[in-house]
Each structure stands twice: as structure tokens, then as C-alpha cells.
Structure 1
Amino acid sequence: MENLLRFANAALALSVLATLATVVLAYPLADSLSMPAQIGAHIATLIFATTLKLSYVTRLVSLRSLGRPVH
């Protein structure tokens, strides 16, 4: 479970950064992107947001299994 917790923490950090990057690309920088790139940025935002949620749930499950406090 300790390895799962490490993986979940890393996945959580990466997915937060990726979600922020795709949101910036999809909205403030949309004028400088082509239409296919904008579509890709919007789709990537959905995918990385889902990854964020899954990694957070994985983190909670591993913390609970290890008997650590879940906040």
C-alpha cells in the first residue's frame, strides 16, 4: 500500500499540473491556437480532471488501508 500511496501522490501532482496547463491553453490562450488544438485542449482538460479525481480516490483508499488519517 505504501507504493500505491507514492504512486497516487505523484499522479495527483502531475494531474493537477496537467489540468492547469490544459485550462490555460483552452481558455486564456485559445486565440493563439488552431481549432483542432483548442478541441484537443478541451478534451485533455476532461481527461486530466478525471485522472485527478481517480488519483485522489486512490490516495484516500491507500491512506485508509495503511491506518493513516484521511483528511
Structure 2
Amino acid sequence: MHTPTELLKVANVALGFFALSFTATIVASYPLAGHFALPSQVAFHICSIVTAGLFKLSYVIRCVCQYQLGMEVK
């Protein structure tokens, strides 16, 4: 099993990755939508929902790890 310190590092990296992924899917879904076919646009919209959910999950894992380590949860 992983320690809370290891999981905290993974959660922090995941937060950054999913934030960038979410931003990319939003940009592809709205400002650049005219450059993509309809199936691609649908996929980008679905991906924006999925990446937002994974971002939230990463944040919850981060908060749990901080709590277990006795750190301030923010």
C-alpha cells in the first residue's frame, strides 16, 4: 500500500494534469469548435465532464492525505 505522502504527491501531479486537460478540452469544445467535425466536438464535451470529475477526485484524495498527515486541509 502507498503512504499518504506518496499519494499526496500523486494527487498533486494529477491535479495539475487534469487542470490542463480540462482547459484543453474546453478550448477545443468552444473557441476552436469550428475546426473539428461533430463527432470530435461531442467527444471533447464528454471529455470535459470526465476530466472535471477526475480533477475533483484528485482534490478529494489530496485533502484526505493532508488530513492523514496532520496538515492543514485547504
Helix, strand or coil: the match of 2:60?
A: helix
Gaps of 5+ in 2: none
Measured on the aligned residues, the alpha-carbon RMSD in Å equals: 0.4
Which residue in 1 is equivalent to 2:27?
24
Establish whether residue 33 from structure 1 lines up as the match of residue 36 from structure 2: yes
Which residue in 1 is equivalent to 2:53?
50
Q: TM-score, normalised by structure 2?
A: 0.94
Partner residue of 2:69 out of 55, 66, 69: 66
Gaps of 5+ in 1: none
C-alpha displacement of 1:50: 0.3
Distance in 1 (CA, whole Å) between partners of 2:6 and 2:43 is: 32
Helix, strand or coil: the match of 1:28?
A: coil
Aligned residues: 71
Helix, strand or coil: the match of 2:7?
A: helix
Once the two structures are superposed, residues 35-67 of structure 1 have per-residue CA deviations (whole angstroms, 9 ceiling, x without a partner) of 010001000000000000000000000000000
Distance in 1 (CA, whole Å) between partners of 2:13 and 2:59 is: 10
Partner residue of 1:5 out of 5, 8, 11: 8
